[in-house]
Amino acid sequence: MTSQIDLEAEIQRLLTEHDRIAEQGITVHRRENAVVLGGEVESAQRRDEICRQITARYPEIEITCDIGITRAQAPSEVEEIS
């Protein structure tokens, strides 16, 4: 039986090694009956694919998705390096 810690590790590896995901910056935390996902990705499709693949592999687990989409607006300030 997969322990809680092993489950988090297995999900982390799924997110990195699955050829439709390849994300290394997603956090995975177990909260009672749910797994909470955090971090940011580059598109809504990638966020949705992460939840789809975890649900397909672990259908008994409830997924709470707090993954955001990284903003891509131009900056308004410059930093002087000295």
Partner 1 sequence: MIRIAAVGDVHVDKDVVGRYRPALEELPDRADALLVAGDLTRHGTVEEARCFAEEFGGLSVPVVVVLGNHDHQSDLQDDVTSVLTDTGITVLECSATVLEINGHRLGIAGAKGFGGGFAGACASNFGEREMKDFVGHTEEIAGRLGEALRSVEADALVALTHYAPIPETLAGEPLEIYAFLGCYQLGQAIDTAPTSLALHGHAHHGSERGRTPGGVPVRNVAHPVIKQAYNVYQLLSESVDADLVSV
37 to 56: interface string for partner 1, x by CB under 8 A: --xx-xx-xx----------
Among 1, 5, 19, 60, binds partner 1 (CB under 8 A): 19
Stretch that binds partner 1, among 2-10, 19-27, 28-36, 51-59 (CB under 8 A): 19-27
Q: Whole-angstrom Cα distance, residue 27 to residue 40?
A: 9
Residue owning tokens 């580059």: 42
Residue from 5, 25, 23 nearest 14 by CA? 23
Q: Whole-angstrom Cα distance, residue 32 to residue 19?
A: 29
Query: Using CB under 8 A as the criterion, which residues of the chain lie in contact with partner 1 when the complex forms?
Result: 19, 22, 24-25, 27, 39-40, 42-43, 45-46, 70-82
